[in-house]
């Protein structure tokens, strides 16, 4: 192989390796089943949420609840508000999930834009929780509506009582 040919082939190989590395998150065509219907949400979840809720949303005992039930919230308008508020403003105060208690602080993610927060919640609801596709995806507008009414994490905890009165 001449030097010239090597110079042409090497960058092509580098590109292939890079594409293979990206392949998991970015399907090249419809034939490659997408890993997520919400790739932006999946990426945001990996970057912002897994440290506490775990890569598949299973939670961490004593630290953060599993995220295997918020799909239920997405079925009611107050529940959808609750999801938006939780990511925008965080949550503080004791919650029960089944027979487990969590009482640690969920940080706020108001620094992320509306579309990113909506996609992150849709990733949780539809990909991690396998919610029925009859449910409407959460929109950036729904996030924007809650962003217009700033709350603190204690108020988010208080509102949760109206959507999960006896704990999920």
Our CA angle for 128, 132, 135, nearest 5°, is 105
Beta bridge partners of 95: 102
3 state SS of 95: strand
Q: And the tokens for 132?
A: 């029925």
Q: Which one of 32-40, 98-106, 130-138, 144-152 is the stretch in contact with ligand HEC (CB under 6 A)?
A: 98-106
Name, in order, each residue with C-beta under 8 angstroms of 92's C-beta and a sequence gap of 6 or more. 105, 106, 152, 153, 154, 156, 157
Residue 115 is a binding residue for ligand HEC (CB under 6 A): no
Would you say 100 or 136 has its CB closer to ligand HEC?
Answer: 100
Among 83, 84, 118, 131, binds ligand HEC (CB under 6 A): 83
Residue 48 is a binding residue for ligand HEC (CB under 6 A): yes
The binding site for ligand HEC (CB under 6 A) comprises 48-49, 51-53, 64-65, 67, 70, 83, 86-87, 91-93, 95, 97, 102-107, 109, 120, 124, 157, 160, 168
């Amino acid at each position: 192989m001449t030097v010239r040919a090597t110079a042409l082939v090497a960058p092509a190989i580098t590109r292939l390796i890079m594409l293979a590395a990206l392949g998991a998150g970015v399907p090249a065509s419809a034939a490659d089943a997408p890993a997520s219907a919400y790739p932006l949400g999946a990426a945001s979840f990996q970057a912002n949420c897994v440290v506490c809720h775990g890569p598949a949303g299973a939670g961490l005992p004593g630290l953060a609840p599993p995220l295997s039930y918020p799909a239920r919230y997405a079925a009611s308008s107050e529940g959808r508000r609750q999801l938006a508020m939780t990511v925008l403003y965080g949550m503080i105060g004791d919650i029960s999930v089944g027979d487990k208690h969590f009482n640690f602080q969920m940080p706020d993610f108001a620094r992320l834009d509306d579309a990113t927060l909506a996609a992150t919640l849709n990733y949780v609801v539809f990909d991690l929780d396998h919610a029925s596709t009859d449910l409407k995806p959460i929109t950036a507008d729904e996030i924007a509506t809650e962003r217009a009414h700033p709350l603190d994490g204690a108020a988010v905890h208080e509102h949760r009582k109206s959507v999960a009165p006896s704990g999920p």
